[in-house]
Structure 1
Amino acid sequence: MGDRGRLRGALLTVCALLLAGCGSAVPGAARPLRVTDVERQLVEGYFTDLNEAGGQGMAEQRELLRDTQHPDFREDECELPSGTLRVQPTMSTLRLDADWTPPGEDEHPRGVVLVVAVTVTLLQDGAELGSQIGSQHVVLLNGKAYGFAPCAG
């Protein structure tokens, strides 16, 4: 290969590197565009724990909701609905939601933000008062799943 061939090869390499760098720069490590098995297990565990605490009573579920409130949003107190919640996620809808910010906030929460479709049922003394279908965000941070307490009104 002559000088011209080496120059062409070097030019192609530089072009490939430049094209690979196109787009917006994002700090941190690259990650797949799909939810990993570990992330899925953490989210499933979050909902399992939430429902088990609800089965033990209102005080236990409220304590769990406080403990699993995202650390950056713990001072945001709210009035929780009276009764317990049963939350059934549709795990096939679980996906990344990197652009989401909590209502009334300007910043994205720290961690990996995921969203899943859920059916939430409000129970009082074991009786169903009502159900609602919606989306719930869960944030994974330092190997733990965090949520945002469901406020009444």
Structure 2
Amino acid sequence: MRRAVLAVVTLACVLVVAGCTTSVDGTPVAAASPAHDRQLVVDYFKELNAAAAEGPSTQRQFLQRSQHPDFTNELCDLGDLTLNVDPAMSTLRMDPDWVPPGEGKGATHPRGEVYVLGVSVSIRQDGALLGSQIGSQRVVILDGKAYGFAPCPTGG
């Protein structure tokens, strides 16, 4: 008798659960995690440097494609320069209060998770090293993709 009651209760639970399921179109995407975001940042810099290795035009295309979507009108032309960026991943941290410089009073935080990290930037022209600089760079993770803010040469 106990087995019969248990079987009926189990069957009822299965039917209730089956009746409550729904189908959702699309492909499931894992929720962001610090490790996932970190890998997106690593990949961003790998792609940036691979584009630089192919030349100014390819790097320009990468910078346009990876510019944060809310700031696509703020691209700078690097001309025939390329940038190689060596990120210090151990310095990666969230920067929730950052707003892009030059946005003026009332500037808003970019959509997404803003990260900041130390970087070493080498500036090249026709393969020759023109200079290098150490500074900070922001990368934003938005909708599972890493975006940056194209650098502008000093005075540009």
TM-score by length of 2: 0.74
User: Could you tell me whether the CA contact under 8 Å between 1:80 and 1:149 is conserved in 2?
Assistant: no
Change (3 A) 1:49 1:118: same
Aligned partner of 1:147 in structure 2 is 148
Q: How far does residue 54 in structure 1 lie from its aligned partner after superposition?
A: 0.3
Residue 110 of structure 1 aligns with which residue?
Answer: 111
**Partner SS state of residue 49, structure 2:** helix
CA distance in 2, matches of 1:77, 1:118: 20
Structure 1 stretches of 4+ moved >4 Å? none
**Count of residue pairs brought into register by the alignment:** 119
Deviation at 1:75, TM superposition (A): 1.2
Please give the root-mean-square deviation of Cα atoms over the aligned residues, in Å.
1.2
Contact 2:56–2:79, Cα closer than 8 Å, also in 1: no
Tell me the alpha carbon deviations over residues 110-138 of structure 1, each in whole angstroms, 9 at most, x when there is no partner: 00000010000001111111000000000
| Aligned 1:120-135 pairs, distance under 5 A | 120-135=121-136
The separation in 1 between residues aligned to 2:76 and 2:82, in whole angstroms, is: 15
Structure 1 position 62, deviation (Å):
0.4
Q: Which of these residues, 36, 39, 46, is aligned with residue 38 of structure 1?
A: 36
Please state how far the C-alpha of 1:81 moved relative to its aligned partner.
5.3
How far does the alpha carbon of each residue in 1:17-59 deviate from its partner, in whole angstroms, 9 at most, with x for none?
A: xxxxxxxxxxxxxxxxxx7110110000000000000000100
Equivalent residue number for residue 88 of structure 1: 86
Percent identity, please. Answer: 58
Q: Which consecutive unaligned segments of at least 5 residues does structure 2 have? A: 1-32
1:77, CA displacement in angstroms? Answer: 3.4
State whether residues 82 and 125 of structure 2, in contact with CA within 8 Å, keep that contact through their aligned partners in structure 1. yes
Larger gyration radius, structure 1 or structure 2: 2
AA aligned opposite 1:36: P
Is 1:56 the counterpart of 2:57 in the alignment?
no
1: distance between equivalents of 2:73 and 2:121? 24
Give the partner amino acid of 1:50.
L
1:67 pairs with 2:65: yes
